[in-house]
Amino acid sequence: MTLKLDINPIKAWLPHIDNPLLISGPCSLETEKQVLDTARLLAKDKRVFVYRGGVWKPRTRPGSFEGVGSIGLKWLQMVREETGLPVGAEVANAQHTEEALKAGLDVLWIGARSTASPFVVQEIADVLKGSDAVVMIKNPVNPDVQLWMGAIERVHQAGIKNIVAIHRGFTPFRDTKYRNYPNWKTVIELRRNIPNLPIICDPSHIAGKREYLHEISQKAFDMGMEGLMLESHIDPSCALSDAGQQLTPADLSKLLDKLVIRYESANNPEFENRLDMLRNRIDAIDSELLEMLSSRVEIVKEIGRYKKENNVTALQMNRWSQLMDNRIKLGKDLNLDETFIKILFQLIHEDSVRMQTEIMDTEE
């Protein structure tokens, strides 16, 4: 399902941008000095385009630092005045949104926990009506592309055209090396459903640890994402939230130096970038296709052994013609060419029969 939403490209609200959209700043605003010292250093790196900072912090459990509250809005205004950088913060209810708009923040973002709640998103969207703020929408904590799209639609229905989606990873349901696992498949699906929506990545909340920031940031560029949100703190070890994943402004610059940003190519950069981006997506899809084929092979072999134990033939015509009819129908529903599907499944089936015959003839 392709949604045609009237969403602006990043350049519409950030005309001087000539690189990926890089947003940086501390997880939480803590003190005026921390906010301004961090901003001064970040602003020296001209690759940083927006300053971020959490004013109200959604914490998973009560008792941890919940943000400085409204005073932080004043500090963000000071950052903008001094550095010229647009500034942004997370809003999680109507009151935050009202205050953030009143303070003239350039960017508002909806956090992962809020995106997961249509009531919260609607409450925020109702306040956004009539404003020209830039609104960034993080993915919900669960990999549900419909829920993510729903939030984007609600904000869009409020008349907001400057929208950016942020991939910040999904809650893992078992131990993984990342704090929130990246799910590029969901991102690809969002891209497919709303092709003109800019999507950036938040490697900080995916990684949870500084050591993984590089690999995730590079992957994000390889996947053609249009920017990064990376947390930066003047003294990460003393940060009141997310201490393990924040970078000093100097380390942020070093990280950026190492990243291959696929924007600088010789002749026709725009064409080459787009081509690269599309090819990277094809590569990712192909690798998923191969993984699926390999899972299919495992099951085919298991069936082969089972048939052997029961003295049943490898080739069973009824099953074969039912499978073919069904796959052609499924393919048609997905707008895939009938001849292509026939040839593809003939090949797949032929190879399955070959593998099962081999099992019958060779395995003990």
Q: Which residues bind Mn ion (CB under 5 A)?
A: 27, 242
Shortest Å distance, C-beta 151 to ligand PEP: 12
Q: Does 359 bind ligand PEP (CB under 6 A)?
A: no
Considering only CA atoms, which of 201, 198, 114, 112 is closest in space to residue 163?
198
Query: Pick from 168, 179, 191, 210: which binds ligand PEP (CB under 6 A)?
Result: 168
Asked if residue 107 lies in contact with residue 87, where contact means CB atoms within 8 angstroms, the answer is: yes
Tell me which of ligand PEP, Mn ion, none is bound by residue 26, counting a contact when its beta carbon lies within the kind-specific cut-off of 5 to 8 angstroms.
Answer: none
Please say which residue, 172 or 195, places its beta carbon nearer to ligand PEP.
Answer: 172
Asked if residue 159 lies in contact with residue 13, where contact means CB atoms within 8 angstroms, the answer is: no
Shortest Å distance, C-beta 1 to ligand PEP: 26
Q: Does 58 bind ligand PEP (CB under 6 A)?
A: yes
Shortest Å distance, C-beta 202 to ligand PEP: 6
Tell me which of ligand PEP, Mn ion, none is bound by residue 112, counting a contact when its beta carbon lies within the kind-specific cut-off of 5 to 8 angstroms.
Answer: ligand PEP
CA–CA dist 360, 364 (Å, integer): 8
Shortest Å distance, C-beta 235 to Mn ion: 15
CA–CA dist 171, 182 (Å, integer): 9
* 354 CB neighbour count, 10 Å cutoff: 12
CA–CA dist 183, 188 (Å, integer): 9
User: Tokens 């385009």 correspond to what residue?
Assistant: 49
Q: Is 230 strand, coil or helix?
A: strand
Query: Pick from 20, 25, 88, 111: which binds ligand PEP (CB under 6 A)?
Result: 111
Please say which residue, 58 or 104, places its beta carbon nearer to Mn ion.
Answer: 58
CA–CA dist 9, 198 (Å, integer): 7
Tell me which of Mn ion, ligand PEP, none is bound by residue 138, counting a contact when its beta carbon lies within the kind-specific cut-off of 5 to 8 angstroms.
Answer: ligand PEP
Q: How far is CA 283 from CA 159, 279, 280, 286, in A?
A: 36, 6, 5, 5
CA–CA dist 363, 33 (Å, integer): 72
Query: Pick from 154, 167, 191, 205: which binds ligand PEP (CB under 6 A)?
Result: 205
Please say which residue, 227 or 304, places its beta carbon nearer to ligand PEP.
Answer: 227
- Site residues for ligand PEP, 25-54, by CB under 6 A, read 27, 54
